[in-house]
Amino acid sequence: MKKTVVITALVALLSGGIAFVAIRSFLQPKTPAAAQTDIAPLPGVASAAAGAGNATAIARSIPEVLPDFTLATLEGPPRALSSFDHPSLIVNFWATWCAPCRREIPLLRQLRAERGARGVEVVGVAVDFREDVIKYAQNIGLDYPLLIGEEDGVAAADLFGVATAFPFTIFADAKRRIVAVKIGELHADEAAFILDHVEKINAGALAVETARTLIRDEIRRLDGLRASKPAA
């Protein structure tokens, strides 16, 4: 599909719902991502884009359970998200033109390598032009599963009710309940905290509702610490 056709389709999809900032970022890669009012929103609670007074901002609920969708794979044949049956799932929405997305990839690869034996799988969802994703993945040797979509990728992102620019990352437990949502670049300390709590949920040692609150508060704390550090 030619890019001009994709852009036309995406513009038409705007009325269907995903946040304006994310669409704008997809169509205009050089546009800086807007700030987010909550970098760790809770499932079942409305998530709003920054600048709530702006007519383009929308408030939507993040689902309690991981929604399913089917997209093309890096190899070609389509695959459903529900086909990944690992006890802990990390679903990372990204694009090749997104600098924070690219910075996350080494961490995601590390998490899969270190925690794969403990049931963790990483699934990247590239909302981008297929030829760009294939070229980038080959150049860096990306080794975790990829789902790829253009306008259908935007529709998949829309299922999560996250009104933001990329990247955003979903963590789900063995019952496919959404335990945590991280909006913006994922960091190693955040990922470790979240995955440790997902393991406790899977072991029956922690209630999912309690884990969600603990994770949200910790991500906010860590983000605050990072924000308070002087720029290098």
Q: How many angstroms separate the CA atoms of 115 and 122, rounded?
A: 10
Confidence label for 165 from pLDDT (cuts 50, 70 and 90):
confident
**Angle, vertex CA 60, rays to CA 99 and CA 64, nearest 5:** 90
Confidence label for 47 from pLDDT (cuts 50, 70 and 90):
low
Q: What is the mean pLDDT of residues 206-224?
A: 97
Residue 86: CB atoms within 10 A of its CB come to 15
User: pTM of this prediction?
Assistant: 0.81
pLDDT at 23 over 50: no
pLDDT at 124 over 70: yes
Cross-strand bridge partners of residue 181: 170
Name the amino acid, one letter, at 18. Answer: I
H-helix segments, the chain: 3-13, 20-27, 99-115, 130-140, 151-158, 188-202, 208-228
**Angle, vertex CA 171, rays to CA 222 and CA 86, nearest 5:** 140
The CATH architecture of the domain made up of 3-228 is 3-Layer(aba) Sandwich (3.40)
Q: How many angstroms separate the CA atoms of 162 and 223, rounded?
A: 18
pLDDT at 113 over 50: yes
Helix%, strand%, coil% for the chain, nearest 5: 45, 20, 35
**Angle, vertex CA 73, rays to CA 47 and CA 65, nearest 5:** 35
Query: Which residue bears the tokens 């990390």?
Result: 90
Give me the percent of the chain exceeding a pLDDT of 90. Answer: 71
Tell me which DSSP letter residue 45 carries.
S
Q: How many angstroms separate the CA atoms of 230 and 133, rounded?
A: 34
Query: What pLDDT is recorded for position 227?
Result: 92
Query: Which residue bears the tokens 């704390």?
Result: 221
Query: What pLDDT is recorded for position 225?
Result: 95
Query: What pLDDT is recorded for position 164?
Result: 59
Pairing of strands 88-94, 120-127: parallel
Average pLDDT of the residues of the chain: 83
pLDDT at 48 over 60: no
Kind plus residue range of the DSSP H or E element containing 61? strand 59-61
pLDDT tens-digit readout, 172-207: 999 999 999 999 999 999 999 999 999 999 999 999
- The dihedrals phi and psi of 169, each to the nearest 5 degrees, come to -130, 130
For the chain, the domains span: 3-228
Residue of 135 and 8 predicted with greater confidence: 135
ω before 106 within 30° of 0 (cis)?
no
Q: How many angstroms separate the CA atoms of 51 and 61, rounded?
A: 17
Query: What pLDDT is recorded for position 171?
Result: 98
Residue 113: CB atoms within 10 A of its CB come to 13
Query: What pLDDT is recorded for position 38?
Result: 84
